Structure 1
């Protein structure tokens, strides 16, 4: 029996088991094929970017490790991302930060224009993928005293306001050129290492700065503004201006999409339990799926309980069309391309597991308050062979099945990464 025959046979056996509990496996795979994961560029080079690559990484961020092969040019980063995408089923998106402009000009963050990202758009068209975007409010001399948009000095605020406005035009350009909205995420690291006297004024300044940035109406056919909270960062342990509560109020009152990052909350706090609440008040949501370890740590996502709960919540709430899914981690201790592949494939696996659940039937059991049956069924369903369905999906998408992709990564490391 050939490997191809084995994959198909295992799939047919699994399909029969899932069909017995009322799951449409073929329908689940059709849905999964359409879901785009936004793969983040900064895993490929440890968040350095190309505008000011020699600057110290600031803004409460730290990437550790010196594994060989980090990308040092836009061409190298595109090549690495392209390799990762070739090992991931489906067509997805690539998420760029403003510091990843590809230009020979000496350009600052308050001067960037769509033309500085033209090569990225051309590449995205060739790869048949979308692009997302992020203004970069860190790793810059104008990140002063731990503040940007909330700084008391108007000149500092004006610099960053101009940067934010230009970032929106770049994201709009992505959407127009690629025929799909570019999610443009605003994360601002402003905060204090120790307890401040005045928590209100910086938040008022941040609110006013964001209002100015968003003053121009741009169609969501091209770009969707998202705003991301954070609990703390290195150097901002005691107080972060852009807290979850701040952005909940701002997003709901201003009609902006709220982005929740899995690593931006208290150690015992999870975003899976917040999705349903926010979905009642907002037409769209965005997630940065990461893996916190104790405090805020952007580790490569694994198939842990929270990843699966996040995806279940999206599927069970029928929120797939309203939720944009992006990844956010950076690990320089391992092969950076492998980290991308592990992360995206795990996100897809967790989505598949959620899609293979007989959600409607389980909801009926719950509505009857039969909690015994609910527990028994959900636990037994965990043993069903979703892995055989995943292997078949990879096979049909013409990407490596099982561990076969890792050999390609090892070859790429030997042939490309180790020669940099």
Structure 2
């Protein structure tokens, strides 16, 4: 179907496709750097795994240097319509020096900022509280040893400073998101003490104020993971309360909740208590396994909630998956485009009619309209969006992704 025919089909439902396309073009998605190298990073010393962070698979083409990772990112962004962001972890510094985590400075990330400026990208940032000898027991900011807590507090302070410098340099605030792996493999006898230590550490780490036009603090909860099956110190309840009391953003990661929970349902609930929300969009499969996101019900519900509840202006959308069994660049492209496709479908819904039916308790009307909408030609509108943005679709996209994957297959 042509775009003009699709436009007319949506107009029959009082939906303006041009308005939807214009809105979609304004929504940046923060693409995560760690998909490109299996969460290894570029520190000049060996680190240990930890915190349940593990990428599985051995597909050829993993980025081994910052330059390789940036080349992969440039290709991926060229396949994604719109203007977006990059989410960096602190272990992705670009320097010949070997600073420890409590010694990193903005200069160690300056090449990333220069590159982002050249590419027209915003940057977001994350302290790296895993893959380090001081995190081997899955305790960092809540560790009973004050010296270890102080080490990680200093790391967090420096990351906030670095993120603020990034935001200033690029004239767009960098979201600095705090996630720690802290927890216990078996049932602890005291849950209060580690949570008190975590709160005290967070307070110390965030004591210095930063201009919100440069840096935004966010905190991210966890449910469980490898090595912390019995207790997670930074639970959803802990961080939701902390975000409300301290005025930080709250990060909702779709993999960090029980498989039966609907994370989309949490958006409107938490939005009544926190000013801004950070989303990490992922696809858990039985646990926090971070598969590449599909255009499935969970992603569609998330997009519908963002649009229906008018939360797009208060929500920062980021991605968080890492799959080494497939082409890493294709994973970025597929996942990001699926998030955009879900948002487009939500923007093309006749929300006035649906909400009117619901307010009138006309559940029949709500159901039949919802089901009939599924037959509308969303694909034609998406193709038009991609065409206007100069990116490929269909068979051309598949061929381009395969060609690039083959070009980097010799990396060892």
* TM-score (ref. length: structure 2): 0.99
Separation in 2, partners of 1:15, 1:217: 48
Separation in 2, partners of 1:195, 1:164: 28
Identify the residue that residue 212 of structure 1 maps to in structure 2.
204
Aligned with 2:66 (options 74, 90, 94): 74
Cα pair distance change 1:54/1:68, threshold 3 Å: farther
Q: Is the 8 A contact 1:47 1:57 kept in 2?
A: no
Give, in angstroms, the shift of residue 213 of structure 1. Answer: 0.7
Q: Is the 8 A contact 1:137 1:189 kept in 2?
A: yes
Q: Is the 8 A contact 1:93 1:131 kept in 2?
A: yes
* Within-5 A mapping of 1:68-147: 68-147=60-139
* Within-5 A mapping of 1:374-389: 374-389=366-381
Corresponding position: 1:406 with 2:402:
no
Give, in angstroms, the shift of residue 298 of structure 1. Answer: 0.3
Q: Is the 8 A contact 2:167 2:214 kept in 1?
A: yes
* Within-5 A mapping of 1:194-233: 194-233=186-225
Cα pair distance change 1:398/1:53, threshold 3 Å: farther
Long gaps (5+) in structure 2: none
Cα pair distance change 1:354/1:201, threshold 3 Å: same
Q: Is the 8 A contact 2:141 2:180 kept in 1?
A: yes
Give, in angstroms, the shift of residue 418 of structure 1. Answer: 2.6
Q: Is the 8 A contact 1:226 1:256 kept in 2?
A: yes
Separation in 2, partners of 1:233, 1:329: 15
Separation in 2, partners of 1:177, 1:132: 12
Identify the residue that residue 241 of structure 1 maps to in structure 2.
233
Separation in 1, partners of 2:408, 2:326: 15
Tell me the SS of whatever aligns to 1:366: helix
Greater mean deviation of Cα atoms: 152-161 or 401-410 = 401-410
Aligned-residue RMSD, C-alpha: 1.0
Q: Is the 8 A contact 2:252 2:279 kept in 1?
A: yes
Corresponding position: 1:44 with 2:36:
yes
Identify the residue that residue 20 of structure 1 maps to in structure 2.
12
Q: Is the 8 A contact 1:231 1:243 kept in 2?
A: yes
Corresponding position: 1:193 with 2:182:
no
Long gaps (5+) in structure 1: 1-8
Tell me the SS of whatever aligns to 2:280: strand
Give, in angstroms, the shift of residue 413 of structure 1. Answer: 2.0
Give, in angstroms, the shift of residue 419 of structure 1. Answer: 4.5
Identify the residue that residue 5 of structure 1 maps to in structure 2.
none
Say how many residue pairs are matched: 412
Separation in 1, partners of 2:162, 2:103: 11
* TM-score (ref. length: structure 1): 0.97
* Within-5 A mapping of 1:340-359: 340-359=332-351
* Within-5 A mapping of 1:275-354: 275-354=267-346
Separation in 1, partners of 2:127, 2:272: 28
Identify the residue that residue 46 of structure 2 maps to in structure 1.
54
Separation in 2, partners of 1:406, 1:115: 38
Give, in angstroms, the shift of residue 401 of structure 1. Answer: 1.9
Identify the residue that residue 151 of structure 1 maps to in structure 2.
143
